[in-house]
Structures are given as C-alpha cells and as structure tokens.
A and B are shown apart, each in its own frame.
Chain A
Amino acid sequence: MLLEQIINGITLGSIYAIVALGFTLVFGVLGIINMAHGEIFMIGAFIGVLITSVLGLPLWIAFIAAIGVTVILGYMLERIALRPLRGKQGVSHLAPLISTIGVSILLENLSHHIFGAGNHPFRHSFAQIQFQIGSITVYLVQILIFVISITLMVVLSYWLSKTKAGKALRATAENLETASLLGVNTKRTITTTVILASALGGIAGILVGMAFNSVNPQMGLSMGLKGLAIIILGGMGNVKGAMAGGLLLGLAETMIVAYGDSGYRDAVAFITIIFILLLRPQGIFGKNTAEAGR
C-alpha cells in the first residue's frame, strides 16, 4: 500500500516537475513569472483529448500535436505579449507579469468557449493496462509518465550544461548584456526559451490527462500556482530545484490524500512552501546571493 502510494506520488511529482521546469526556464532567462504557463499546459491537455478521444488517433500523434500547438502559443506569447514590453523606457517591471496574466485569462476563456466548462475524459486503451507485481498494482501509464519525465529532465540538464545553445541560454539567464557581447543573439535565445518552456507545459498537459483521465479549462490555474510554488521551493530559476521540488510536492500531496484528509491536498503545497521558506528562504537549491536571484 505504501509502495503504491509512493509510485502514485512519484508519477504526480514528475508531472509537477515538468511544469515547474517550464516556469524556471522562463524565470531564469527573463526574470519574470509566466502566469500563462498553466494555461498553455491546459491547452496541451485539451489537444491530447481532441486527438485521442475525439479523433481516435494514437497517443504519439497527440504528443506531437500538443508540442506543435504549445510551441506556436509560446512563440506568440513572446512576440505579442512579452517582446513589445522589453527594453522600453518607462515600462514597469511588472508589465510583463500583467501581460502574461492577460494571456492566461484569454486562453482559459478561449478553451471555455471551444470545449465547454465541464470535465473531459481522456479516453485511450492505454490507461487500462496494468501489472501486478506482488501485491502492488502498477499502471503502464504511470511508468510511461515517469520515463518521459526523467528523460526530459536528463536531456534538458545535458542540453543546458553541455551544448553550445544550452550554455548560451545560461549566459543569457545570468546577464543579457554580457551574453550579447559574447555573440549570443539574445532575442533568439529568449524566444527559444519561451518556446521550450511552453512545449514542456504541453507535454505535461498530456501526461496529466493520461494520469487523471480528466481535463477542464480551470486546471491551468491550480497547476500554474503549484508550479510557482515548486520553483520557490526549489530555488528560483534552478533546474535541479524544479525537479526536486516537483517530486517532493507530488509525494507530499499523495501521502496526505492516502493517510490524512484529501481536503487538505492543495493546502499541502503551500504549507510546505511556508516551512521551507522559513528554514531556507532561498529555496532548497537556491544560492544565497543577490545575483542568483535574478
């Protein structure tokens, strides 16, 4: 029973981690909280519903379609909502944040309009496949989610630490001016970052649809707030922190539902944050310096 709950927790946690990675990438490079990230995630989930349940196409097409749509959304977010505000005289530093809130409201209402307000099931034959290992039941979906999440994290970490484009992204995150003096086209790097983050959100959307078999237009908000909680927990702009924070929160929530009161599920995220911030204000992996905060 405990082992099963741990598996559930890890499944949920790895999805949280992917959502948080998207937040942390954008925060690291642009220094803003992308409040539309949760809604991009929700759109990704709806694309999954559309492809698998409505059109009856296989799951891999759903992944490709969700990535495609969220990449376009990410590009539009950067070009329409963020870039026009950047580097302009007299624009408040809060303006991009407000702008992303605007995009999130737009996307939520758009999906209300198109898909309706209710829950949409995420039907696919895949969800029923399960194994019995001793007394524990494991769903194939859980394994798939875990494998996809771990793969994404490993690939992203490798990309950031070893490749030229990854290093350019880190340089841009640390200092935009320095990166451009070193030859980095920072505009392109920023666009890449927002697109990458959005695609991660889209993938997480499908994974959530698969795991919980339910998709609705409001799911973006709570996921967005949790993603935010996770990057505060893990350390703002920190990739490792996003992963660890995601897993921690997923496990904590699952345990509360299993052994405590399921009504407190969402409260756990924020209680955990309060505790962590009391003990380590910079987050679990955050550096205790001013420069790391940017």
Chain B
Amino acid sequence: MLKVTDIETFYGKIQALKRVSLEVEQGQVVTLLGANGAGKTTTMKTISGLLKPKHGTVEFLGENITGLRPDQLLRKGIALVPEGRAILSSMTVMENLEMGAYHRNDKEIKRDIEEVMSQFPILKERKEQLGGTLSGGQQQMLAIARALLSKPKLLLLDEPSMGLAPLIVADIFKMIREIKENGTTVLLVEQNAKQALKVADYGYVMETGKVIINGEAKSLLEDSRVVEAYLGKKSS
C-alpha cells in the first residue's frame, strides 16, 4: 500500500534521514521504533508531505506521491496525527471534528461526527468547549477522532501515547486495535516499544536516520538487539 524507497530528508544542511525504506501492507499495523532523534518523526513528516525528501520516492497505492502537499495527500487517503496532537485550541471540539471532515463533501459527515461522539462520550460532553481546554488524553482522542473523520486509508500516528498516564495509554492502544479492525491501515511511531509491537504486525527500528532492523512484530519482540535497546532486559 505504502512504499517508501531510499528517502533522504534534510533540515537545512543537516541530514535527518539516510536512505530510509519501508513498506506498509494494506490492513496492517506497522510500527516504527527508535530512540529520540532516530528520524521517526522526520519519516512521518516526509510521508505526510510536511517535509520534502531530497532523494527517494514515496509510493501510495501504486502512485508516486513524492513531494505532494499534506492537503493533497489527505485527499488521496493519508492522514497524520502529528506528535503533540496539534489540536486547534482556539476552536471548539465540534469545530475540530468538523475540520477533520474538511475535504469531504458527502452527506454523511453529520452522521459520522455523531458516531465518533458516541464512541468518545467525553467529546460529546465537551463539544462546545475549546480544544485547548481538554486534558492531554482527551486531546489525543480528539486528534485521532478528527483524523478518522477524513476517512483515511492509511493513518499515521506519531507518538500517540506520549505524555499520557498509563491507563490512558492502554485506551489509546485499544483504539489502535479498533482502527485496525475497522480496516484502516496504520503506521505507528512509538517510544513505548513493547506495547507497539504487541499491536503491530510488522516493525522497523531506526537509529540515527537509518533503518537498522526490520521484521515481523512477533520476532522483534524476541530479537535480542531490540529487547536490549528498547524493551529492557527484565521485560522479556
């Protein structure tokens, strides 16, 4: 579904990605692991069009989409929930959800928003509140719900569990499972490697701008290099 080939992305003169390649199959959850500064977020930003790669290609459903803008990519079915959630804090929860369906013109938007709100009762309760007044966990749910309202084929989630309490992290991973069951493909960046590998089908591990390990999520959970670096010895 998504095929990233040898992308190299720069911040000015600093090279953040060195020939990164990865693939996401339809219906899978694929996770991208690695320490801070490994290039995970840069990879996500490059796929979603926020950054343009200097070399390499991004293909989506067989079409070369390298260098397209985020709004064009959203119309093709790629939605990114960025790191830090990016809630529109001066707009209400309802308006945030409406913005999620911005590019759509069908008549089912209202119904879909209703559905999302019944799925997340807290959003319904707070629909007239400004986005900025929600707690971190609620904001993350709003951000994911908003992205889902664009009806993406591929959902990119950048560190959805960052800064959240363990109970809420569990909720977020439950959501990711549900999203997968509903047929949406997910590319997930996480620091929480163990949880991410449990929900994922396939995984990539990045280090200093390169993919160093990749494989089935199950086998990565047992891979000694991964266990040592990201899972901690005691957890296995």
**B70: Cβ under 8 A from any A Cβ:** yes
Do B74 and A174 have beta carbons less than 8 Å apart? no
- Nearest CB of A to B232, in Å: 33
Other-chain residue from A89, A177, A182, A287 in contact with B146 (beta carbon distance below 8 A) = A182
Do A180 and B90 have beta carbons less than 8 Å apart? no
Q: Which of A25-69 contact B (CB under 8 A)?
A: none
| Most central of A164, A167, A178 by chain B CB within 10 Å | A178
Do A182 and B90 have beta carbons less than 8 Å apart? no
Residues of B contacting A181 in the complex (Cβ-Cβ under 8 angstroms): 48, 50, 70-71, 74, 79-80, 82, 86
Do A174 and B50 have beta carbons less than 8 Å apart? no
- Nearest CB of B to A170, in Å: 6
Among B19-27, B94-102, B110-118, B208-216, the stretch in contact with A? B94-102
Residues of B contacting A178 in the complex (Cβ-Cβ under 8 angstroms): 82, 86, 88
Q: Which of B144-174 contact A (CB under 8 A)?
A: 146, 150
**B69: Cβ under 8 A from any A Cβ:** yes
Residues of A contacting B50 in the complex (Cβ-Cβ under 8 angstroms): 177, 180-181
Do B89 and A182 have beta carbons less than 8 Å apart? no
User: Which residue of A has the minimal Cβ distance to B11?
Assistant: A89
Do B102 and A184 have beta carbons less than 8 Å apart? yes
User: Which residue of A has the minimal Cβ distance to B89?
Assistant: A291
Other-chain residue from B71, B88, B89, B132 in contact with A180 (beta carbon distance below 8 A) = B71
| Most central of A171, A181, A292 by chain B CB within 10 Å | A181
- Nearest CB of B to A294, in Å: 10
Do B98 and A183 have beta carbons less than 8 Å apart? no
Residues of A contacting B75 in the complex (Cβ-Cβ under 8 angstroms): 183
**A175: Cβ under 8 A from any B Cβ:** yes
Residues of A contacting B150 in the complex (Cβ-Cβ under 8 angstroms): 182-183
User: Which residue of A has the minimal Cβ distance to B72?
Assistant: A185
| Most central of B69, B99, B102, B103 by chain A CB within 10 Å | B99
Give A residues with C-beta under 8 Å from B. Answer: 89, 164, 167-168, 170-171, 174-175, 177-186, 287, 291-292
Interchain residue pairs with CB less than 8 A apart (21):
A164-B98, A167-B95, A167-B99, A167-B102, A171-B88, A174-B88, A174-B91, A177-B82, A177-B86, A178-B82, A179-B99, A180-B70, A181-B48, A181-B70, A182-B71, A182-B100, A182-B102, A183-B74, A183-B75, A184-B102, A287-B90
